[in-house]
């Protein structure tokens, strides 16, 4: 029989192993994310970076430490980082980037900046859209302001999609919109969101065809089917026909 002392030793070793795993990984991605969130020029800077222009993003990240600045200058240098995993629930048709179940990867600094920019831009687009959705719930007759916000979200997501679709699965997964699942389950009309839904489908379907990872491919494809259902329910095609 294994003694309690040995059992506690194994528990200690297990905890120490987890701590060592995270201890070996740099927090550089988190510092980049926080800086992007705090800077008002981060959207334009990230769009530039994803299109191959690095200068503006370097300016936005200038508040980072000298050590981080040196890393950024060596864009091809690989470092160990903790990255979230992507999972897909086949019963719900819902994909998820799980930050609580990270894995260790060696990524170049350039890949990290692409990841953080894609993540930041998608998050900003989602936030603008959710703002419009809240306005619609509060007063559906507030048409000019609602449509202005939807257009902002649509334009940003369209730009991000065009820049990120050709990139790796790891970067491309940041285009996935989990809120589509929530809209599908809500079972109500999103007639104010037809432009955004069309833009989202123009990303989801091509992304499913380009993607190698089985979970991510299934998530994008499921999202595309859900978007089609939301569009039919919201009479989007009829709206386009008569506009």
Summarize the confidence of residues 199-212 as an average pLDDT. Answer: 97
Can you give the pLDDT at residue 21?
39
Of 183, 166, 172, whose CA–CA distance to 223 is shortest? 183
pLDDT at 188 > cutoff 70: yes
Q: How far apart are CA 87 and CA 193, in angstroms?
A: 27
Question: Which whole number is the average pLDDT over 225-243?
Answer: 79
In this predicted model, what pLDDT tens digit does every residue of 81-116 receive, in sequence order? 999 999 999 999 999 999 888 999 999 999 999 999
Provide the pLDDT for residue 23: 45
In this structure, what DSSP letter does residue 26 have?
Answer: B
Three-state secondary-structure class, residue 1:
coil
Answer yes or no: are the C-beta atoms of 43 and 128 closer than 8 Å. no
pLDDT, tens only, 189-201 = 999 999 999 999 9
Band (238; pLDDT cuts 50, 70, 90): low
Are 76 and 109 in contact by the 8 Å Cβ rule? The answer is yes
Is 212 exposed, middle or buried, given 0-12, 13-18 or 19+ CB atoms closer than 10 A?
exposed
Report which of 121, 120, 148, 154 is spatially closest to residue 135, judged by C-alpha positions. Answer: 148
Overall average pLDDT of the 128-151 stretch: 96
Alpha helices in 24-107 (DSSP H): 28-38, 42-50, 55-60, 66-73
């Amino acid at each position: 029989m294994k003694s309690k002392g040995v059992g506690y030793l194994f528990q200690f070793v297990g905890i120490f192993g987890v701590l060592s795993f995270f201890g070996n990984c740099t927090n550089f991605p988190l510092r980049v994310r926080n800086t992007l969130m705090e800077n008002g020029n981060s959207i334009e800077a990230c769009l530039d970076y994803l299109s191959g222009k690095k200068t503006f993003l370097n300016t936005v990240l200038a508040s980072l430490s000298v050590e981080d600045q040196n890393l950024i200058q060596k864009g091809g240098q690989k470092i160990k980082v903790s990255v979230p995993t992507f999972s897909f629930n086949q019963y719900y048709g819902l994909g998820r980037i799980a930050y609580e179940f990270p894995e260790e990867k060696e990524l170049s600094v350039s890949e990290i900046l692409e990841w953080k920019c894609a993540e930041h831009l998608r998050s900003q687009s989602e936030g603008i859209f959710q703002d419009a959705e809240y306005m619609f719930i509060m007063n559906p007759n507030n048409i000019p302001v609602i449509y202005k916000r939807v257009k902002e979200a649509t334009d940003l997501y369209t730009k991000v999609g065009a820049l990120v679709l050709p990139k790796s699965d790891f970067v491309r997964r940041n285009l996935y919109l989990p809120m589509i699942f929530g809209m599908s389950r809500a079972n109500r009309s999103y007639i104010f969101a037809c432009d955004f839904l069309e833009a989202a489908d123009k990303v989801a379907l091509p992304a499913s065809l380009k993607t190698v990872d089985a979970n991510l491919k299934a998530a994008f494809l499921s999202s595309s089917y859900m978007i089609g259902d939301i569009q039919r329910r919201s009479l989007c095609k009829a709206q386009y026909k008569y506009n």
